[in-house]
A and B are shown apart, each in its own frame.
Chain A
């Protein structure tokens, strides 16, 4: 079981790395973002340095390091309606976040859980916390320390987008790493 998930992770990293490299090398072709919203936006070619600064001995970033930097730039994770578990496609990104926390014990983050406006406010407050806790537990299992992470739920009180559209709702069901 452990070995299998290791293998899965490795494959995952390679796939993401390839995407990242592909995206970085093809920024002049904006149509080519068939990978979906989140991957496309998180692998955009902006040159701001990532939070981790590990550099390989050759002075060049390894593919894994590029993938890590790309992953760490993704700090918002979206959820399906009435679902508290993060999406499978975010697993590898969150693994990088966990590794980054493990490698930087002084680093502190805040997980902010949110819900869309459907359903009651108190229930949504609890749902936001459940979502954030799901990510909290995953980060801890993958090496982060509990003391590095604060969790707060805002429920439906801090929407990312106002409005009663499916699109607004899907943007509001989220956990943000701050």
Chain B
């Protein structure tokens, strides 16, 4: 049952060159949980080496599972025993405490190296069954990755859904230094805001960060030349290249699901329209043709059509068009809102996440989901300036930007609206989150 696996160092080893620790790390606050969370006991992992470890792996797992709201971890003080491996586990101890699941583990120094071995085992208390267990080996710097990997296993064992705890986020931070000077940063962090790194810093605005499907590259808009232009940057090497230099707006770069093309917005012919640029041939194809505003493209899962926002009827609404279709074959998807904007499909291809302003009288912009088959709408948030929704790759949560005490912060909400957590920022306005694809 025990398997050996060496965690591949993600970007961090390669990143010796450009890894600045960001000024203020984000840290999670749970703002809303579910009514009946699943009880789970996570016993502090034993450390069999010298000195103290820089990370508490079992605490990382506990935080992960509680942040998504569906679990509640047993307090360490209430545990009747603290086993670290299967032979010390007595199921009745945990049944007495009404726990459904149990995670135990121990960490030791790998013989003759700087690496550490993390052994964990995961049990179903009611069925008295070991569900999973393995040994993960990595450097001390990778302990957070190991913790998130264990969280993925636990989450998938219990919910049947692939965990997204080893994913990352991109976001933009604006620091107002003085009325004349704002410091804009493009940052990347773990999904929970930890280990933030600066990818780009500028005194001109940075907008619209988006991941390539491989997670190796990011596309964004930078005003560094005093005009908005699209760039692609390799995360590991920091190498970047300018992709567009058309007149007027060059914005909203979004990778096609197969990574071969970039959808974007250009207003070179007078008004913003949706275009697709082939990243190999650089061939540019115009997708929409309308004298009013078309913007905010996002791809359908099969990469054959693009969802976008247009104010062609007077106010922003969501439309969809197949690549290669004529301009007359645009399908309108939203009707029942004053403004519906910034849409993207969940992985199911039926539910459309978007920003919604219900009526002209109601000034609130909120995150909502429209089922395009049943036309049922669920509004997920109750704050007033919510925007830039970005969907976790497992479709379980949506991260978005909102305002708290006058400052930009990132919030996340489960797709049923039952769970919310916030990543408060210690400095500046945080905005435009973009959730990575699965990275492993």
Chain A residues at the B interface, C-beta cutoff of 8 Å: 117-123, 125-127, 129-130, 133, 151-155, 157-158, 162-164
A/B interface sample: 18 pairs, CB < 8 A: A118-B365, A120-B296, A120-B387, A120-B388, A121-B207, A121-B432, A122-B251, A122-B252, A122-B342, A123-B309, A126-B249, A133-B270, A153-B249, A154-B205, A155-B207, A157-B223, A162-B406, A164-B385
Flag whether B226 is at the interface (Cβ < 8 A): yes
Known A-B contacts A121-B388, A152-B228; A130 and B293 likewise in contact (beta carbons under 8 Å): yes
Bound complex: CA of A105 vs CA of B34, how far in Å? 67
Known A-B contacts A122-B296, A123-B309; A129 and B365 likewise in contact (beta carbons under 8 Å): no
Bound complex: CA of A126 vs CA of B291, how far in Å? 12
Bound complex: CA of A123 vs CA of B355, how far in Å? 12
Flag whether B208 is at the interface (Cβ < 8 A): yes
Hey, which chain B residues are within 8 Å of A118, CB to CB?
363, 365, 385
Bound complex: CA of A154 vs CA of B204, how far in Å? 10
Hey, which chain B residues are within 8 Å of A152, CB to CB?
226-228
Flag whether B289 is at the interface (Cβ < 8 A): no
Closest A-chain residue to B252, C-beta based?
A122
Bound complex: CA of A123 vs CA of B431, how far in Å? 15
Known A-B contacts A129-B267, A152-B226, A164-B403; A119 and B339 likewise in contact (beta carbons under 8 Å): yes
CB pair A151 B176 closer than 8 Å:
no
Q: Among B182, B223, B293, B403, which residue has its beta carbon within 8 angstroms of that of A123? A: B293
CB pair A120 B341 closer than 8 Å:
yes
Tell me the dominant secondary structure on chain A's binding face.
Answer: mixed
Hey, which chain A residues are within 8 Å of B365, CB to CB?
118-120
Select the residue from A117, A125, A154, A163 with max chain B CB neighbours within 10 A.
A125
Known A-B contacts A129-B248, A163-B406, A164-B385; A123 and B341 likewise in contact (beta carbons under 8 Å): yes
CB pair A122 B182 closer than 8 Å:
no
CB pair A121 B387 closer than 8 Å:
yes
Q: Can you name 7 extra interface pairs (CB under 8 A) apart from A118-B365, A123-B316?
A: A119-B387, A121-B207, A123-B293, A123-B311, A151-B248, A154-B223, A162-B176
Select the residue from A120, A122, A126, A129 with max chain B CB neighbours within 10 A.
A122
Bound complex: CA of A119 vs CA of B207, how far in Å? 15
Chain B residues at the A interface, C-beta cutoff of 8 Å: 174, 176, 182, 205, 207-208, 223, 226-228, 248-249, 251-252, 265, 267, 270-272, 293, 295-296, 309, 311, 316, 339, 341-342, 355, 357, 363, 365, 385, 387-388, 403, 406, 431-432
For the complex of A and B, list the 9 residue pairs with the smallest distance between their C-beta atoms, beginning with the closest: A157-B205, A126-B293, A120-B341, A122-B295, A120-B342, A126-B272, A122-B296, A120-B387, A122-B252
Hey, which chain B residues are within 8 Å of A121, CB to CB?
207-208, 387-388, 431-432
Hey, which chain A residues are within 8 Å of B363, CB to CB?
118
CB pair A157 B387 closer than 8 Å:
no
Known A-B contacts A120-B388, A126-B295; A158 and B182 likewise in contact (beta carbons under 8 Å): yes
Q: Among A117, A119, A125, A162, which residue has its beta carbon within 8 angstroms of that of B251? A: A125
Bound complex: CA of A31 vs CA of B205, how far in Å? 40
Select the residue from B228, B270, B406 with max chain A CB neighbours within 10 A.
B228
Hey, which chain B residues are within 8 Å of A157, CB to CB?
174, 205, 207, 223
Closest B-chain residue to A132, C-beta based?
B248
Q: Among A129, A154, A158, which residue has its beta carbon within 8 angstroms of that of B272? A: A129
Q: How far is the CB of A106 from chain B (nearest CB, A)?
A: 20
Q: How far is the CB of A151 from chain B (nearest CB, A)?
A: 7
Hey, which chain A residues are within 8 Å of B295, CB to CB?
122-123, 125-126
Hey, which chain A residues are within 8 Å of B182, CB to CB?
158
Closest A-chain residue to B403, C-beta based?
A164
CB pair A122 B208 closer than 8 Å:
yes
Hey, which chain A residues are within 8 Å of B339, CB to CB?
119
Q: How far is the CB of A6 from chain B (nearest CB, A)?
A: 29
Hey, which chain A residues are within 8 Å of B272, CB to CB?
126, 129
Q: How far is the CB of B160 from chain A (nearest CB, A)?
A: 34
CB pair B267 A122 closer than 8 Å:
no
Closest A-chain residue to B431, C-beta based?
A121
Bound complex: CA of A80 vs CA of B342, how far in Å? 23
Select the residue from B295, B385, B388 with max chain A CB neighbours within 10 A.
B295
Hey, which chain B residues are within 8 Å of A129, CB to CB?
248-249, 267, 272
Select the residue from A126, A154, A163 with max chain B CB neighbours within 10 A.
A126
Bound complex: CA of A154 vs CA of B133, how far in Å? 52
Q: How far is the CB of A176 from chain B (nearest CB, A)?
A: 13
Bound complex: CA of A117 vs CA of B432, how far in Å? 13
Hey, which chain A residues are within 8 Å of B355, CB to CB?
120
Q: How far is the CB of A134 from chain B (nearest CB, A)?
A: 12
Q: How far is the CB of B273 from chain A (nearest CB, A)?
A: 10
Bound complex: CA of A83 vs CA of B248, how far in Å? 20
Bound complex: CA of A117 vs CA of B403, how far in Å? 11
Hey, which chain A residues are within 8 Å of B208, CB to CB?
121-122
Known A-B contacts A119-B339, A158-B205; A126 and B228 likewise in contact (beta carbons under 8 Å): no
Q: How far is the CB of B299 from chain A (nearest CB, A)?
A: 15
Hey, which chain B residues are within 8 Å of A133, CB to CB?
270
Hey, which chain A residues are within 8 Å of B251, CB to CB?
122, 125
Bound complex: CA of A122 vs CA of B266, how far in Å? 12
Bound complex: CA of A163 vs CA of B174, how far in Å? 14
Hey, which chain B residues are within 8 Å of A127, CB to CB?
293
